[in-house]
Amino acid sequence: MTLSLQQSRCSTFVLLSLTACFATTALLGSADSADARQRRHHNAASRPALPITPPIPLAKPDGEAAPETPKPEEKPAVKPAEQFGPDRPADAKTDSKPDDEDTAEKADPATSPNRVYQNACPALMNGDVQGEIVPPLAEGTCGERSPLKITAIGKENPVKFAAPITTNCTMAGTLAEWIGDVEKAAQKSFGAGIETIATGSDYQCRKVNNGNKGRVSEHAFANALDIMSFKFTNGKTTQLGSGWNGTPEERDFWRSIHKTSCERFMTVIGPEGDAAHQGNMHLDLGCHGKACKARICQ
């Protein structure tokens, strides 16, 4: 009986111990949960409040714009190869339009003439000479690709030719410079300006001095002009044939022209040069010497 009582007491003690252990564990767990909840509440209160709407990204402080999303590179449209020169097909088309529609060729190849490839002349474009470009000249070894028909020379006070002359662009530009010196000589000798200039040969397909042999004349390349007489604004006139040894005014005038012509042109032949130039002063821009720098002044 004593043994049973001891066992009963031992069981009761064990149960009480376990109950106390469970109670302590529950109490500790409850305290830990409360502490954890308190910490979470504190952390949530310390965080900054989130905006109701999300912020909009701003530009960089240095003002540099954000790089755009690269776009795929577009390939240029393939166009047919352009052709230039006389061999260009008659039915070839171009997208560009000429600036000067008044002088442009018609688009219809059936009615348009073949294009003539010529050079523009600055002296004509700038108004240093008055006239127009004319079709190319071709006569055997003679000719000029871009000849001009000139009616007057000089920009400020144009001096007219008694009849239009045919010359190349370089010759036209040099005549436009030359006429300024001739005007000064006219004012000095006759007290008047020049109204018109009468000329002899301009473009002619021939040899020098109309000979049957020898070299081809510069006239054959629209690179020469013969001066014969002048008419002044006061009504007076002078001709080389009679004026070279004429009145003092005429003598001074023609010799002054001869001198200034030798400074402008490469060849000048007057009455003292040969018998063929007693009545006309020959001017040209022909090449003399290996470097084309030699001048002939007679």
- For residue range 231-257, list pLDDT tens digits in order: 999 999 999 999 999 999 999 999 999
The per-residue pLDDT for 209 is 82
Extents of the domains making up the chain = 122-297
**For the segment 179-226, what is each residue's pLDDT rounded down to a tens digit?**
999 999 999 999 999 999 999 999 999 998 888 888 999 999 999 999
Q: Is the pLDDT of residue 88 over 50?
A: no
Lowest mean pLDDT among 10-14, 68-72, 84-88, 269-273: 84-88
Which residues have CB under 8 Å from 20's CB, separation 6+? Answer: none
The DSSP line for the chain is -HHHHHHHHHHHHHHHHHHHHHHHHHHHHHHHHHHHHHHHHHHHHHSPPPPSSPPPPPPPTT-PPPPPPPPPPPPPPP-PPP--STTS-TT---S---S-TTSPPPS-TTTSPPPP-----HHHHTTSEEEEE---EEETTEEESS-EEEEEE-SSSPEEEEEEEEE-HHHHHHHHHHHHHHHHHHHHHHSS-EEEEEE---S---BGGG-SSSSBPGGGGT-EEEEEEEEETTS-EEEHHHHTTSSHHHHHHHHHHHHHHHHH-SEEE-TTT-GGGSS-EEEE----STTS---EE-
Q: Is the pLDDT of residue 80 over 50?
A: no
Lowest mean pLDDT among 40-44, 78-82, 222-226, 255-259: 78-82
The whole-model pTM stands at 0.63
The per-residue pLDDT for 285 is 97
Q: Is the pLDDT of residue 96 over 50?
A: no
